Amino acid sequence: MAAAGSSFAQMGLDARILQAVAELGWAAPTPIQEKAIPLALEGKDLLARARTGSGKTGAYALPLLQRLLARKTSALVAEQAVRGLILVPTKELARQALQMLRQLAAYCARDVRPVDLAGPEDLAAQRPLLMEKPDVVIGTPSRVLAHLQMQSLRLHNSLEILVMDEADLLFSFGFEEDLKNLLCHLPKIYQAFIMSATFSEDVKALKELVLHNPVTLRLQEAPLPDSSQLSQFQIQCETEEDKFLLLYALLKLSLVPGKVLLFVNRIDRCYRLRLFLEQFGIAACVLNSELPAQSRCHIISQFNRGFYRYIIATDEQDLAEPEGTNRGKKKGTGTERGKDQEYGVSRGIDFQNVSAVFNFDFPPSLESYIHRAGRTARVHNPGTVLTFVLPSEGLRLAKIEEVLTAESSSKYTLRPYQFRMGEIEGLRYRCLDAMRSVTKQAIKEARLREIKEELLNSEKLKTYFEDHPRDLNLLRHDKPLHPAVVKPHLRNVPEYLVPRGLRPAVCPLAGKCKRRKFPASTSKGQQNPLRSFKSSQKKLRTSAKLQ
C-alpha cells in the first residue's frame, strides 16, 4: 500500500496513464485517490465516501484502466470483451465519466475503448457500438438493463470490474428495481467499487447486494471546504421583489466577478429569472430536465470553456417539485411529460472555475445546500455561496447552520452579506417594470420555445455538426427568448442611479453588459466563422423544406 504523501508514479501505474495524468495537471493524488487506488490495484472491493469535488472519478478510473492495460499486455491474451461497467444516476454524469476516461486513456486509446450508453440515441442505434465489444460501458441502470435484456450486451462471462458512482442517488432516482434485475446478469465473481458522498441507508443496501468483504474508506473531512476556501453568506430579503432587485444590482453592476450558477427550485422559475434578466440585457442559459440531453451536456461543456457567465439551473431530482405541481394536468398538456428522469446537475457534475453559487431559491434540505455549494470551491480554487433568505425561511436556515457547524471544527455559520439595500432603491422602479413584463403567459411561451429550439439543434442539425464540429462550438444557448415585452431603456444603467459608494468599483461599461463576441475576422481573406455557421444553418433549413 502506498505511503502517505505518495505520488502517482509510486503506485505502479502504466507509463501511458502517468503521461495522461501529468497532462491533466494532477500534481499529486487527492486523499481519496491516495487511499483508494493502491487498495483497488490489490483487487479489493471498495466502499468509499468522500465529498463532492474530491477526485472520486480518478480514484476508480485509474485502477480500472490499469487493470485493462495489464490484461492486454499479459501473455494470456483473452478475446475482446466488455470488462468494465460504470453505473451512474444521470446522463450528465455518464458523459462526464466518459470524458474523464478518454482523457486518462489519451496515450493508450487504441487499447482501451469506452462507450456511453446513457446518451439520447435509441437502443437500436447503440447496438453497433456494443457489437464492437468496447472495454468499458458507462450508463444509467435502466439503459444498461435494457441492453442486457435485448442481449445486445453480455456481461455474464466477461465483467471484471463494476463501479457505482454517486451510489446514494441510484436508489433515490428510482433505479432500485433496475439494479436488482441488472445484478442477475453479472458473473458471480468481480471486483466492485461503490463511490458516494454520503453513507445513506440506500448505500448500505447496495453494499449488501454488490460488495464482498469490502474495505470501507470514510475520509474524516467536512462536507464542504473550510472558510479559507469557501465563503458562505446569507442575505435577508423582506420580499420576493427584494430578491430580484438585489440580483439585478449584483449582476448589472458587475459586483460579482467570474462565472455564476443560480439555483432555483422549479422549471418555471428558471424561465422567469431568465426573462427578467433579459430585460436588462443580461444573457443567461437555463439547465433543466426538459432540455434534450445533448443540449444539456453541450451547455455544460461551453460554460466550462468560458462561453457563458451565468447558468440558471434546477436540481429537481434532489429537490422534488412541490406536491401538486403536476396535479390537475391533462395528458398531453403542459411540458411536464417531457421531463428527463435521468437529469441532475447539482450533484457530481464538474462545473469548472465557478466563482459563485447563488441560492436564489432557498434549498429545501441540507443535502441540497451541500450539493449546490459543492459546485464552487472545487480542488484548490476559492468560491462563494450566497443564499437569499425570505422571512419564512429563517427556521430552515437555522437548521442548516446548526448541522454544518456540528459536522466541522471550523465555523460554517453563513455570515450576513453586507449590502445596503437602501443604496439601490433608485433601481427598484426598473426592477418592478421588468417583473411586470414577465407574465405567466410569457414564461409558458419561453419554456415551449426553448424546448423547440433545443430539439432542433439537437436532432435536425446533428448530422451537420458531426461534419462541422467547429460550428458546434459557435452554437449558443443564451440567445434572447423575447416572449416578454423588452423595453430598450432598461438595458443601460444611468450613472446617476449607481450608488455613490459603488461607482469607483463599477466598471464603466457594466451598464452595457457586453456579450462575448467572436472576432469579426481572423486573418486576411478568412471568413467570420459565426457568419459561416449562420449561412450554413440557413441553407440546411432551406434544403429541409425542399425535402
Contact 481, 278 (CB under 8 A): yes
Nearest to 362 by CA among 380, 335, 389, 324: 389
Q: Residues 44-52: what's their mean pLDDT?
A: 88
- Quick one: pLDDT at residue 482? 64
Reply yes or no on whether the pLDDT at 506 is more than 70: no
- Quick one: pLDDT at residue 160? 95
Spatial separation of the C-alpha atoms in residues 409 and 134, rounded to whole Å:
46
Say how far residue 150 (Cα) sits from the centre of its chain: 30
- Quick one: pLDDT at residue 5? 52
Joined together, the cell numbers standing for residue 82 give 466488455
Q: Hunting for cell 461607482 — which residue is that?
A: 503
Reply yes or no on whether the pLDDT at 94 is more than 60: yes
Q: DSSP string of 190-240?
A: -EEEEEESS--HHHHHHHHHH-SSPEEEE----SS--TTTEEEEEEE-SSH
pLDDT bracket for residue 517 (50, 70, 90) = very low
- Quick one: pLDDT at residue 2? 46
| Structure confidence by residue, pLDDT tens digits, 355-390 | 999 999 999 888 889 888 988 988 778 999 999 999
Range among 61-65, 197-201, 335-339, 403-407 rated most confident? 61-65
* Burial class (CB within 10 angstroms; exposed 0-12, middle 13-18, buried 19+) of 195: buried
Spatial separation of the C-alpha atoms in residues 546 and 88, rounded to whole Å:
42
CA distances from 431 to 146, 235, 424, 495, 500 (A): 50, 18, 11, 16, 19
| Structure confidence by residue, pLDDT tens digits, 304-330 | 888 999 999 987 654 333 333 343 333
CA dihedral of 75, 77, 82, 86, whole degrees rounded to 10: 10
The neighbouring-strand residues paired with 114 are 136
- Quick one: pLDDT at residue 526? 44
- Say which residue, 105 or 339, is predicted with more confidence: 105
Joined together, the cell numbers standing for residue 370 give 451541500
- Quick one: pLDDT at residue 43? 95
pLDDT bracket for residue 220 (50, 70, 90) = low
Spatial separation of the C-alpha atoms in residues 279 and 488, rounded to whole Å:
8
| Structure confidence by residue, pLDDT tens digits, 109-125 | 999 999 999 877 889 99
- Quick one: pLDDT at residue 128? 93
- Quick one: pLDDT at residue 288? 87
Radius of gyration from C-alpha coordinates of the chain: 25
Reply yes or no on whether the pLDDT at 335 is more than 60: no
The domains found in the chain, sorted by start residue, are 9-218 (3.40.50.300), 230-319+339-497 (3.40.50.300)
Joined together, the cell numbers standing for residue 333 give 398538456
Determine which of 164-173, 182-191, 482-491 has the lowest per-residue pLDDT on average.
482-491
| Structure confidence by residue, pLDDT tens digits, 264-274 | 999 999 999 99
Q: Residues 191-195: what's their mean pLDDT?
A: 95
- Say which residue, 172 or 530, is predicted with more confidence: 172
Determine which of 72-76, 140-144, 483-487, 504-508 has the lowest per-residue pLDDT on average.
504-508
Angle at 175 between CA 172 and CA 177, to 5 degrees: 120
Residue-averaged pLDDT of the chain: 81
Reply yes or no on whether the pLDDT at 494 is more than 50: yes
| Structure confidence by residue, pLDDT tens digits, 12-44 | 999 999 999 999 999 899 999 999 999 999 999
Q: Residues 259-268: what's their mean pLDDT?
A: 94
pLDDT bracket for residue 343 (50, 70, 90) = low
Angle at 183 between CA 179 and CA 187, to 5 degrees: 160
- Quick one: pLDDT at residue 480? 75
For residue 383, give every residue at least 6 positions away whose Cβ sits within 8 Å of its Cβ, in sequence order, or none: 225, 229, 230, 231, 354, 355, 356, 357, 376, 377
Reply yes or no on whether the pLDDT at 276 is more than 70: yes
Q: Residues 430-447: what's their mean pLDDT?
A: 92
Nearest to 531 by CA among 459, 451, 474, 450: 474
Spatial separation of the C-alpha atoms in residues 338 and 447, rounded to whole Å:
12
Reply yes or no on whether the pLDDT at 184 is more than 70: yes
The type of residue at 253 is L
Joined together, the cell numbers standing for residue 17 give 496513464
Nearest to 476 by CA among 353, 359, 331, 302: 302
Contact 312, 247 (CB under 8 A): no
Percentage of residues of the chain with pLDDT beyond 70: 78
Spatial separation of the C-alpha atoms in residues 27 and 24, rounded to whole Å:
9
Spatial separation of the C-alpha atoms in residues 292 and 451, rounded to whole Å:
8
- Quick one: pLDDT at residue 365? 86
Angle between helices 91-104 and 15-23 (to 10 degrees): 120
Q: Starting from the edge strand earliest in sequence, which strands make up the sheet with 161-164, in order?
A: 114-116, 136-139, 84-87, 161-164, 191-196, 46-49, 215-218
Q: What is the DSSP letter of 8?
A: S
Q: Hunting for cell 456540528 — which residue is that?
A: 406
Spatial separation of the C-alpha atoms in residues 275 and 91, rounded to whole Å:
27
